[in-house]
Structure 1
Amino acid sequence: MWHTGNIYLITAISVIGGGLFGFDISSMSAIISTKAYLCYFNQGPDGPGFNDSPNCSGPKSSTQGGITASMAAGSWVGALLSGYITDRLGRKSAIQVGSLIWIIGSILVSASQNIPMLIVGRIINGISVGICSAQVPVYISELAPPSKRGRLVGAQQWAITWGIMIMFYISFGCSYIAGTAAFRVPWGLQMTPAIILFLGLLILPESPRWLAKSGRWEEALDVLALVHAHGNKNDIFVNREMQAIKNEVEFDSKNADVSWKELLKPKMLNRLHIGIFTQIWSQLTGMNVMMYYITYVFAMADLKGNNVLLSSSIQYVINVIMTIPALLWLDRWGRRTPLLVGAALMMTFLFIDAGVMASYGHPAPAGGLNGIAAESWIITGKPSKVIIACSYLFVASFAPTWGPVSWVYPPELFPLRVRGKAVAVVTSANWAFNFALGYFVYLVFGVFCATMFLHVLFMFPETAGKSLEEVETMFTDPKGLKYIGVPAWRTHTVEKTLDMAPLKEQSEHGVAHDERDLPLSEDGSLGRKEEV
């Protein structure tokens, strides 16, 4: 079958897997406050079962938390399973498996007759999200050139933001449909991107690094040439990449245990801790909780009726737009700077929210605002506008920083032999904390943002601009990061990478005399001694 070598088309199709998570977030946040949902899954005095009673209060707050968190629970399982699936079947096939599972889960969710059936469907959807969210970044990382890797892997977050926005407006429009179709239609439409993803993957190549790891060397060379040199197997960059992959595979086959146990060895624990906390901190910002429950927050901030949904949708638009700067400049900014700046800004806006709510708000009556227990606080007047504004600024701070970087950074940290397994473990941490976050408040998230700033500052080295094999030397080479005593805060972005170097005339022996042929320095940065 014909395969495309256009890296942007490859990315555009594969990141639809990220869009699945976005669809789930907004389909739930847009629906949980609608009359159809509240009445059909009602646990109040006039439920369960659909009815038009004005007393419909929906699921109990603890039950709603379970419904929302069930997807994250499934994602945790799916992320762990993805390590086994990707090593056995390949990166591309693992994502296809995830798309099929999503279709099954969406059928169950859209046909839900009661809360248990809804939860089961969302758990199955979560397994799909776990697989795709773990392996899409690995797949793109192993195909992308170093100079564009941040932009391309970061597109996963952009796809998530598009999924959130598109599904929110679909759900908002469907809220005007009478009866249970108000939520069954949008939940059924969730299958569409998964179908497109499955079919689109058929024309994409497999990861060359996975092919090499599996002993399929000729196919690996074909893919590298297709993606990076329009099919030219003699291209210098292609040959350099192939040689680096061969060196790593040969080293791994002779010296490495490729079981799960290797992740616990001393040389791997440091980077495993960095990867895990990249995902944990991205959850502890509170962003996903904000997305799930923003309608509750705005209702407590004195917005009513459709104004709640429309105001909520603004933050989804902000999320899409503010992710674009990361796609343009993330490889120039590096990884550390966005993480530090994002943590500082989010911390500021969350502390402001916490202070304003504590100073000017008060508890809602028993049973919650509007009869919804989750709406447990009331704030009115000008202070309520501060809450709304800071919520928007919080999203604008997350979108170009922790959002994309949390997907870009982990796959860069690990060697080929364990990359699939390691990213699976790292991503499972994301979903474990996503599951646990339903009841945290602004002040707690502000503390987390302050802590993550310090953690990134002192412990996370820069990986932007380095090839995946060069990143490996940072953690393992006796002349690398650990042994020459360069702390994380002194590492920098490599701005001039092998795939960006100008190609000059080759000699009669086919050897180019330019920056591409310069020996790598100790820090793997093409002679740039001052950077790691």
Structure 2
Amino acid sequence: MEVSNDNHHHIQLKETVLVGKTLVAFTSVFVTQGVLLFGYDQGVMSSLLTNGYFQSYFNNPSPVEIGTMIAILEIGALFSSFAAGKIGDSIGRRATIRWGALIFVIGGSMQTFSFNIVSLSIGRLIAGVAVGLLTTIIPCYQSEISPPDDRGFFACLEFTGNILGYASSIWIDYGCSYIESNWSWRSPLLIQVIIGFLLFLGSFIIVETPRWLLDKNHDLEGMIVISDLYANGDVEDEKAKEEYRQIKEDILISRIEGGERSYHYLITRYTKRLSVACFSQMFAQLNGINIVSYYAPMIFESAGWIGRQAIFMTGINAIIYILSTLPPWWLVDGWGRKPLLLSGAVFMCIPLTIIAFSLYANNEYTANTVVVCVFVFNAAFGMSWGPIPWMMNEVLPNSVRSKGAALSTATNWFFNFVVGEMTPILLDVIRWKTYLIPAVSCVLSFFCVYLLFPETKGLTLEDMGSVFDDSSSIFSFHSSGNVGYGSTDERRASISVDGTSDIFHQSAASIARNPNLMKPDFDGIITGTPPPPVPTNPSNLHVPHPPLNRAGSGNNLNNNLKPIKSDVSSSSASIDGLNPVDSNVPPQEIEPPTFDEIYKYKVNQMLEPNVITKAWFSLVGRTKKSDEEAPFIH
């Protein structure tokens, strides 16, 4: 134990062995296995479609059978992504990842040992259920543990993992094509089962997100995880305390507003935010990436590259695809999300148009032209519409983030299904004209981003409301000209020398709940709807906007909001009205749990043996550990 003074400074109560940036990086890379599975499953079938043993075993499936077998994964993912929002809120992000990995192992095993096209399709359907859970929750998990300045980096790193899975499946297919038996197509399917099992085991190691913990009132655990992620395990660190206050304030404001979490509330209250998340996923699919991802070998075959040559060229394309995902690691937090999407739409539209007319010309230049254009198209997608849509869940408020992520991911899977189902049919019926459809979509996506999408680089998750000017915004970057309220740190509460509160250094949450700082003259400028008049009797003052109960009348705030430390302080007004308001006392900030509270919690936690330690204690004749034996203090 390292103690510098009586205030316990620089003591680590670590929840995990890794802390700080190392913990964030390790966790981010590890959960990337979930989207890597999706990329692998996406690419593995594209190459197997040209495998001779695969075609013979399944009696040369027709285009309709191929389209259904490919697209049925998206059907499973579509329905499970709706459920993922509620599951993620209920059992947590980490447990949802665990169940998703386990379901994928079951579906992957069925694919590996399938005996006809029906059993193969059922296996892909089950795997799709898992993919829907994983691709909904993992981006939420990623955004909720990443620091604001690095959130884009880790989201793009996650997408690189997805493409790494895609590329790996192509090259594994290529290598296994030399096996002279049905294991030439069964082996690649078996490998995805192994990856899924590793993710399942790792789900017992990774931390839960602090936002979910605090939302479920696991404040002590949440503070420990926050300190692990952002303060190297130091629970006394001011940065960790600041992060705790900011997250908790956002949660409490949501509860004050009624604590509503339904899909109807999400759609009606945060329409623009949800539109950004869903439109980005819709255009990511309609812009044509899965025409290439699912059917690249077939495309190359139509251009003149036959058999194993088509798989080889697909593998080369996959390598270029991976490399194209690296620049956004730095560009997304520097240049921004919006410029990447706009430039990507342009550089995807051009090669798609060239592919169409090159296939129409069908001359000696067609084969090489198609290859080059596919490479350019994939590179443009990998730098823009590949990673960015998956991180757009960041624009959603914490209270409904998992449900918003469920809708945006469901949008992805719906259009993914449409593209996967229709592509082989369109290639068979209208041939080269097929590529003009995504080319037109690229043009539409350009104008959608230009007119609708705001720039969100560098913002904390709690500050996203400021760029949308919706009703959850207290201050707006747009309305204020970004003066005085530029960041959470700049808005953090401070008390001046004369004891008065400085509004320009308070958090939005503090200002919102301080009756002294309510300015009727400014109400409604940002949200467009003035709030109801504030009661003049302090003893009746609970919150600025008292929510109605389910019956439509009355005010039962205690059902939605539980008091915290600052709320029951004798020097401050309670958010839930437990204490009277003293207009002469400045509002107090939400305070995180103290060191002593966290220490006591950890001691009690360590004194409760798990199944393994219970068995050990029974063997050695002991029932508990002493406080001195607690190994979590460093």
TM-score category (smaller protein): 0.7 to 0.9
Q: Counterparts in 2 of 1:36-55, with a 5 A limit? A: 36-42=53-59
**The one of 264, 267, 274 aligned to 1:261:** 264
Shift of residue 219, structure 1, vs aligned partner:
0.8
C-alpha deviations, 1:381-433, integer Å up to 9, x for none?
11321111111000010111111111112x21111111111101110100000
Q: Counterparts in 2 of 1:42-441, with a 5 A limit? A: 42=59, 58-256=60-258, 257-265=260-268, 267-358=269-360, 360-361=361-362, 380-409=363-392, 411-438=393-420, 439-440=422-423, 441=434
In structure 2, C-alpha distance between the alignment counterparts of 1:521 and 1:340, rounded to whole Å: 32
Shift of residue 177, structure 1, vs aligned partner:
1.6
Match of 1:46 in 2: none
C-alpha deviations, 1:307-333, integer Å up to 9, x for none?
111111111001111101111221112
Larger Rg: 2
Cα distance change on mapping 1:352 and 1:521 into 2, 3 Å: farther
Shift of residue 444, structure 1, vs aligned partner:
0.3
In structure 2, C-alpha distance between the alignment counterparts of 1:272 and 1:238, rounded to whole Å: 30
**The one of 38, 46, 70 aligned to 1:29:** 46
Q: One-letter code of the match for 1:233? A: V
In structure 1, C-alpha distance between the alignment counterparts of 2:295 and 2:391, rounded to whole Å: 26
User: What is the number of equivalent residue pairs in this alignment?
Assistant: 467
**Contact conserved, 1:13 with 1:201, CA < 8 A, in 2?**
no
In structure 2, C-alpha distance between the alignment counterparts of 1:341 and 1:216, rounded to whole Å: 43
Point out the more displaced range, 469-478 or 344-353: 469-478
**Contact conserved, 1:156 with 1:407, CA < 8 A, in 2?**
no
In structure 2, C-alpha distance between the alignment counterparts of 1:84 and 1:521, rounded to whole Å: 28
Shift of residue 165, structure 1, vs aligned partner:
1.2
Q: One-letter code of the match for 2:265? A: E
Point out the more displaced range, 241-250 or 443-452: 241-250
C-alpha deviations, 1:98-144, integer Å up to 9, x for none?
10000000111011111111111001111111111111110011111
C-alpha deviations, 1:176-221, integer Å up to 9, x for none?
2222211111111111111111222222110000000101011111
Match of 1:4 in 2: 18
Shift of residue 479, structure 1, vs aligned partner:
5.9
Identity of aligned residues (%): 30
Cα distance change on mapping 1:483 and 1:318 into 2, 3 Å: closer
Q: One-letter code of the match for 1:18? A: V
Q: One-letter code of the match for 1:450? A: V
Cα distance change on mapping 1:485 and 1:382 into 2, 3 Å: farther
Shift of residue 2, structure 1, vs aligned partner:
3.6
Q: One-letter code of the match for 1:319? A: Y
**Contact conserved, 1:3 with 1:205, CA < 8 A, in 2?**
no
In structure 2, C-alpha distance between the alignment counterparts of 1:520 and 1:397, rounded to whole Å: 40
Shift of residue 167, structure 1, vs aligned partner:
1.5
Shift of residue 357, structure 1, vs aligned partner:
2.1
In structure 2, C-alpha distance between the alignment counterparts of 1:477 and 1:415, rounded to whole Å: 9
Shift of residue 335, structure 1, vs aligned partner:
0.9
Residue 13 of structure 1 pairs with residue 30 of structure 2: yes
Q: TM-score, normalised by structure 2?
A: 0.70
In structure 1, C-alpha distance between the alignment counterparts of 2:507 and 2:379, rounded to whole Å: 38
Moved over 6 A (4+): 496-499
Shift of residue 518, structure 1, vs aligned partner:
5.6
Residue 457 of structure 1 pairs with residue 439 of structure 2: no
Shift of residue 237, structure 1, vs aligned partner:
2.3
C-alpha deviations, 1:465-509, integer Å up to 9, x for none?
0000000333335665598399xxxx9xx9x9779x9xxxxxxx9
Q: One-letter code of the match for 2:45? A: M
**Contact conserved, 1:3 with 1:204, CA < 8 A, in 2?**
no
In structure 1, C-alpha distance between the alignment counterparts of 2:474 and 2:190, rounded to whole Å: 55
**Contact conserved, 1:73 with 1:432, CA < 8 A, in 2?**
yes
Shift of residue 263, structure 1, vs aligned partner:
1.6
C-alpha deviations, 1:144-179, integer Å up to 9, x for none?
100000011222211111101112111211122222
**The one of 476, 484, 501 aligned to 2:479:** 484
In structure 2, C-alpha distance between the alignment counterparts of 1:272 and 1:255, rounded to whole Å: 19
State the superposition RMSD in angstroms: 2.5
In structure 1, C-alpha distance between the alignment counterparts of 2:64 and 2:36, rounded to whole Å: 27
In structure 2, C-alpha distance between the alignment counterparts of 1:323 and 1:519, rounded to whole Å: 39
Equivalent position SS for 2:325: helix
Shift of residue 3, structure 1, vs aligned partner:
5.4
Shift of residue 79, structure 1, vs aligned partner:
1.1
Shift of residue 269, structure 1, vs aligned partner:
1.4
Q: Which runs of 5+ in 2 are unaligned?
A: 1-14, 424-433, 491-496, 498-503, 510-634
Q: TM-score, normalised by structure 1?
A: 0.83
C-alpha deviations, 1:33-67, integer Å up to 9, x for none?
0101110111xxxxxxxxxxxxxxx1000110001
**Contact conserved, 2:488 with 2:507, CA < 8 A, in 1?**
no
In structure 1, C-alpha distance between the alignment counterparts of 2:331 and 2:347, rounded to whole Å: 19
Equivalent position SS for 1:270: helix
Q: One-letter code of the match for 2:254? A: D
Cα distance change on mapping 1:324 and 1:482 into 2, 3 Å: closer
Match of 2:435 in 1: 442
